[in-house]
Structure 1
Amino acid sequence: MLSQKLSAGSVFPSIDVTLLSGESVNLSQRDNTAHWKLVVVYRGQHCPLCTQYLNELEQHVNVLRDTGVEIIAVSADTQEQLTSHTPQLHVSFPLAYGLNVEHMKTLGLYISTPRSAQETDHVFAEPGLFIINETGQLQVIDIANGPFARPNLATLVAGIQWIKDPKNNYSIRGTFNTDT
């Protein structure tokens, strides 16, 4: 089955999800203090590797904030599932739930069916990571079809710092169009 992937340099789509507090947020919108945004899509509470990855991401929050990057993590879990997952998550960045199949398709994510009812009770997105720059464009995209294929966070954070340094004049990569 073919799926449409987002292109580097394209505008990140408008997708509304819900924070644990019940507040609706748009994944593409940045707060007033951040110029860039890191959107992390994780599989959900059933995935111990996702829990580990999000907790590891917390170790980089201050550097990312100092670099002008805000963070949000989102899954297809329900409010109840996110609530039961939060005791294992030691993070200060917002967590959202309610990513639906249409959202997953829009983002070009791989979508999986649970192996059993013990895993989870709904289809879910495999990991995705999107870095949105100050103009709303996708600066970096990482999409995986399994929880063990994610970017190393220390390398990612160092890369973001390097890209954002104006003296490096680093353009969005991967935009060569083979159709022309």
Structure 2
Amino acid sequence: MIKPRTKTPEIHIDLVNDTKWTLSDQKPEHFTMVIFYRGKHCPVCKSYLETLQKHLDAFSKKGVNVIAISSDTKDVAKATYEEWDIDGLPLGYNFSIEDARTWSLYISEGVKEEPKHFIEPGVFIIKPDQTLYASSIQTMPFARPRITDLLNSLEYVINQDYPARGEA
């Protein structure tokens, strides 16, 4: 488990727009928000990321960089980007199961049409020095923090200079 106020693992990830993204290269005014999602097979993820996309400008105005990452292959991730209404959302793919475990993410075995193994959702809010501010990790596709709740909470956190909690 990554404790708040401690450095997070590094992320180097390929994006569907054929660029690369590195966590330590991010220079947000306030935070980087990394959202791990289950993959294209998940209708709850589709809804979550489409809602996130609608609020990208609001996150940006608050000084928050956003990325969504899955363990999907390049082809599947590119199809996700084309088929879902998530234009403008940085979308990373091929996040390994081993790397997911370093982030304390849950891993599921696929059933029916799902991939053999995939990561369960997680939201990580990371300070510019790459230390963890807050996280929410799920074992299922539901029970994620609502996007609007995240926006409202971040506004309070930023305005009140509220410290990371849960470090003890």
Q: Which TM-score applies when normalising by structure 2?
A: 0.93
2:3 to 7, 23, 26: 7
- Paired position in structure 2 for 1:89: 84
2:73 to 38, 60, 78: 78
3-state SS in 1 of match to 2:25: coil
Letter in 2 for 1:27: L
Q: Is the 8 Å Cα contact of residues 30 and 36 (structure 1) preserved in structure 2?
A: no
2:40 to 36, 39, 45: 45
Deviation of 1:34 after TM superposition, in Å, equals 4.1
Question: In 2, distance between residues paired with 1:26 and 1:130?
Answer: 15
Deviation of 1:157 after TM superposition, in Å, equals 0.8
What does 1:12-27 align with in structure 2 at a 5 Å threshold? 12-27=8-23
Deviation of 1:68 after TM superposition, in Å, equals 0.4
Q: Is the 8 Å Cα contact of residues 36 and 68 (structure 1) preserved in structure 2?
A: yes
1:169 to 149, 161, 168: 161
What does 1:1-180 align with in structure 2 at a 5 Å threshold? 5-31=1-27, 34-91=29-86, 92-116=88-112, 118-120=113-115, 122-165=116-159, 168-176=160-168
Identity %: 32
Question: In 2, distance between residues paired with 1:169 and 1:17?
Answer: 30
Letter in 2 for 1:54: L
Letter in 2 for 1:79: K
Q: Is the 8 Å Cα contact of residues 15 and 27 (structure 1) preserved in structure 2?
A: yes
Greater Rg by CA: 1
Question: In 1, distance between residues paired with 2:24 and 2:70?
Answer: 15
Q: Which TM-score applies when normalising by structure 1?
A: 0.87
Give the ranges of 4+ consecutive aligned residues of structure 1 lying more than 4 Å apart after TM superposition. Answer: none
Letter in 1 for 2:136: D
Question: In 1, distance between residues paired with 2:49 and 2:29?
Answer: 20
Question: In 2, distance between residues paired with 1:162 and 1:56?
Answer: 21
Let me know the Cα RMSD of the aligned residues: 1.4
Aligned length: 167
Letter in 1 for 2:167: T
Q: Deviations over 1:109-136 (max 9, x none)?
A: 00011013x222x311000000011222
Q: Is the 8 Å Cα contact of residues 23 and 130 (structure 2) preserved in structure 1?
A: no
Question: In 2, distance between residues paired with 1:52 and 1:39?
Answer: 17
Q: Is the 8 Å Cα contact of residues 16 and 81 (structure 2) preserved in structure 1?
A: no
**Gaps spanning 5+ residues in structure 2: where?**
none
